[in-house]
Amino acid sequence: MIAFLKFLVLLCFINHANAKNNWLGEWIATDNWQSEFLIKINEDGSATSNYGSGESGEWKSLDGNLKIFWNSGKTDYFFNGVMGYQRIRKNKNQSYTSGLRKLSD
C-alpha cells in the first residue's frame, strides 16, 4: 500500500512538471485586432513579449495552465481548450480571447 501511494505521489509530481514544461518556449499570439506578436516563456519563471514596445513579467503554473503577470498590470492566461491552445488577455477595462501557436521549445 505504501509503495502504491509513493507511486501516485511520484506520478502527480511528474505530471505537474511536464505540464509546466509544455508551456516553455516561444509562442505566437494575436491581439484583439488579429496582429501577431511573440511571447517567450522562460524556465526561470520570467516571460517577455515584443507586443507594442515590449512587455516583461513573471508566470506561474495553475492546474496545468499558465498565468503571466505582466509588469504593466495586465495578465495573460494560457490554456489548452477545445479549439487548441488559447490565451485570455485581461486588463482593467477589457478582456479578450485569442489563439496561440507554439513556435519552439
Here the cell at position 69 is: 503577470
The sign of the CA dihedral 39, 42, 45, 50 is: negative
In this prediction, residue 9 carries a pLDDT of 43
Each residue of 31-73: pLDDT tens digit?
Answer: 888 999 999 999 999 999 999 889 999 999 998 999 999 999 9
- Give the Å distances, CA to CA, from 33 to 27, 98, 101: 17, 10, 16
The three three-digit cell numbers of residue 25, written as one number: 518556449
- Residue 32 vs residues 5, 13, 60: alpha-carbon distances, Å: 46, 36, 24
Quote the CA–CA distance of 70 and 18 in Å, as a whole number. Answer: 24
Q: How confident is the model at residue 82 (pLDDT cuts 50, 70, 90)?
A: confident
